Amino acid sequence: MRYSGNNIVVTGGAGFIGSHLCERLLSRGNRVVSVDNYITGSRENIAHLEGVGGFKAMEHDITSPLYLEADIIFNLACPGSPVSYQQNAIRTIKTSVLGSLNILGLAKRTGAVVVQASTSEVYGDPEVHPQPESYYGNVNPTGPRACYDEGKRCAETLFMSYHLQHGVDVKIARIFNTYGPGMMPGDGRVVSNFIIQALEGKDITLYGDGGQSRSFIYIDDMVEALIKLASTPYRYSGPLNIGNPEEITMKALAHKIISLTGSLSAITTHPLPADDPVRRRPDIGKAMRDLDWAPSTDIEEGLMRTIHYFRQME
């Protein structure tokens, strides 16, 4: 990596993406501190890292100041699924806003590089397709998803303000739908929902007519991009889309998972939730050019690995 020193802090380190990131960083010889309040993250996600040289788990809520030494910080702390972040909207906003202020304060004190896990949700229900980083989005600021969407948008503003006003070396990653082994059952994400329903032989729950689309990136590809982003030059702040430009409808995803699992599940339809985006696909031209990166795991391969993971949990 570009930075000197190898002390890395991963907030949200016991979450889905965070735990995979901790594991990859440790394999590269870094010293890693996972910081998590375990509200949505799970101790089980990092249990296999306990005892690994260079790893430490710290229980802490980043809405309170954090005092550690760090060369680089990955700020992944925030509920990521609609079910999780809507359960306590005010806490979600506090994590994005107060948490970002505390993490930026830590980066300012230590001189650390800080990577902010933003989200494709900053684009809302986009009127531009695919979504480039230059698109300002179409977000409902008072809707049921606003606590997450607007919290992350405010966090981006804070990160850029700290960069411009205090010279903090920030990197903003706009993360698109990520899936893979380690996803939490019941967290409301569509891939895990469909797989669990298919494996249990239950009806696949499809919202709307199933024509709404998403672009899914496999976890290993996501982690690789985040690490590459941390290594970019000081003036490279983003925001940067990290996702898979391959788009699939929810109906097609349901049928693919039924086929891959050999399930006899039927498909049932329900009304589309409020403010649920109709289409979502990243323009990753900047990531391809600036990081020399593109996702390498196709949807079928990634789904098979994820299905295998959930089968082992049965």
pLDDT, residue 155, reads 98
> In total, how many domains does the chain have?
1
Mean pLDDT throughout 2-21? 87
In a domain, 206, yes or no: no
Instruction: Decide if pLDDT at 132 tops 60.
Output: yes
pLDDT, residue 300, reads 97
Instruction: Decide if pLDDT at 3 tops 60.
Output: no
Instruction: Decide if pLDDT at 1 tops 80.
Output: no
In a domain, 94, yes or no: yes
Q: How far apart are CA 261 and CA 76, in angstroms?
A: 31
In a domain, 12, yes or no: yes
Q: Is 148 a catalytic residue?
A: yes
Q: Which of 85, 148, 162, 218 is catalytic?
A: 148
In a domain, 87, yes or no: yes
Confidence of residue 211 (pLDDT cuts 50, 70, 90): very high
Mean pLDDT taken over the chain: 95
Instruction: Decide if pLDDT at 4 tops 70.
Output: no
Mean pLDDT throughout 79-93? 88
In a domain, 210, yes or no: no
In a domain, 2, yes or no: no
Confidence of residue 5 (pLDDT cuts 50, 70, 90): low
pLDDT, residue 84, reads 84
Lowest mean pLDDT among 85-89, 243-247, 258-262, 295-299: 85-89
In a domain, 202, yes or no: no
Instruction: Decide if pLDDT at 98 tops 50.
Output: yes
- Say which CATH number the domain at 124 has: 3.40.50.720
78 phi and psi, to 5 degrees? 170, 140
In a domain, 262, yes or no: no
pLDDT, residue 75, reads 98
Instruction: Decide if pLDDT at 6 tops 90.
Output: no
Entry pTM: 0.95
Task: Please give the residue range of the domain that contains residue 132.
Answer: 7-178+217-245+281-296
Mean pLDDT throughout 235-260? 97
